[in-house]
Amino acid sequence: MLEIHQFPCLSDNYGFLVHDPDSQETVCIDTPEANAYLREAAVKGWQITQIWNTHWHPDHAGGNAAIKAATGCTVSGPAEVERIGPLDRVLTPGDTVTIGEHEGTVFDVGGHTNGHIAIHLPDDEVAFVGDSVFALGCGRMFEGTAEQFWASLQRIKALPPATMLYCAHEYTQSNARFALHADPDNAELQDYVAEIDQRRSRQEPTVPTKLERELATNPFLRADTDDLQARWGGGAAHETFAALRAAKDSF
């Protein structure tokens, strides 16, 4: 069983260290802040052996060089990461990454950035999704198109419902305000938001989140449902998704 250590970085990112006790390998999922990763690994007594990047943004790959220099680890990520620094291995959708005996599948979640990838470790029922999907939200569409982003979200929706989604930011409370505006009659959403508000009042993280719950409550995953289409425009689901994304951008 993998151990996942989660800790806050920068203003609202999460850092994740994934450790395999059998092989003693430790993977950094993205690198928002090199010092925080090096410190947390030292506290755990873990040796960092790899970095897996989800996309090129500096709050995800900005710590690569310093962590590699300090540990000699390898850096794997989508080709777009080379905009800000070198990779040892370029990951493309369909590739497999490994930590010890544990395999992760790389899949395309482009839309926030064009080359954004996510990594699913099926045996451990976890997926590292970067800024593609958040609890009750999704990433801003900086580079991609609505059609592309919607297709990416379909790949996330197709994971086993028990999958825990490790999103890269604690944006949930503000996402929740928009989700209630987008889908006000959703009782399950109302319960979820009440729980989120309680957890945040105790300063607890709302990440990871279970896919099953997001499928029932996250408006961006539900752009193809009658409820959302009635409110946000029918037609192709990616058009409803685009309307929701645009509304959230100025909410």
User: For strand 164-167 and strand 137-138, is the pairing parallel, antiparallel, or unpaired?
Assistant: unpaired
Q: Cβ-count burial of 231 within 10 angstroms (0-12 exposed, 13-18 middle, 19+ buried)?
A: middle
Window of 49-57, 62-70, 77-85, 201-209 that interacts with Zn ion by CB under 5 A: 49-57
The backbone torsions φ and ψ at residue 156, rounded to the nearest 5 degrees and listed phi first, read -70, -45
The interface region with Fe ion, picked from 103-111, 123-131, 221-229, 231-239 by CB under 5 A, is 123-131
Around Cβ 55, how many Cβ atoms within 10 Å? Answer: 28
Q: How many positions of this chain bind Fe ion (CB under 5 A)?
A: 2
What is the identity of the amino acid at 214? E
Strand-strand pairing, 96-99 and 102-108? antiparallel
For Zn ion, which is the closer residue by CB, 104 or 144? 144
- Residue 213 near which of Fe ion, Zn ion, none (CB within 5-8 Å, type-dependent): none
Q: Which residue from 59, 80, 108, 183 is in contact with Fe ion, where contact means CB under 5 A?
A: 59
CA distance 249 to 156: 22
CB of 133 to Fe ion, least distance (A): 12
CA 180 to CA 32: how far, in whole Å? 30
Binding region for Zn ion (CB under 5 A) out of 20-28, 53-61, 101-109, 218-226: 53-61
The window from 32-40, 81-89, 103-111, 129-137 that contacts Zn ion (CB under 5 A) reads 129-137
Near Zn ion by CB under 5 A: residue from 4, 31, 57, 119:
57
Q: Which does 108 bind (CB under 5 to 8 A by kind): Fe ion, Zn ion, none?
A: none
- Residue 124 binds which entry of Fe ion, Zn ion, none, CB below 5-8 Å type-dependent: none
Cα distance between residue 225 and residue 126, in whole Å: 26
- Verify binding: residue 131, Fe ion, rule CB under 5 A: yes
| Neighbouring-strand partners of residue 103 | 98
Q: How many CB atoms lie within 10 A of CB 83?
A: 12
> Which of Fe ion, Zn ion, none does residue 170 bind to, with CB < 5 to 8 Å depending on kind?
none
Residue nearer to Fe ion on the CB measure, 59 or 170: 59
The answer to whether 39 and 110 have CB atoms below 8 angstroms apart is no
Candidate list 80, 108, 131, 170; residue touching Zn ion; CB under 5 A: 131
Residues in contact with Fe ion by CB under 5 A are: 59, 131
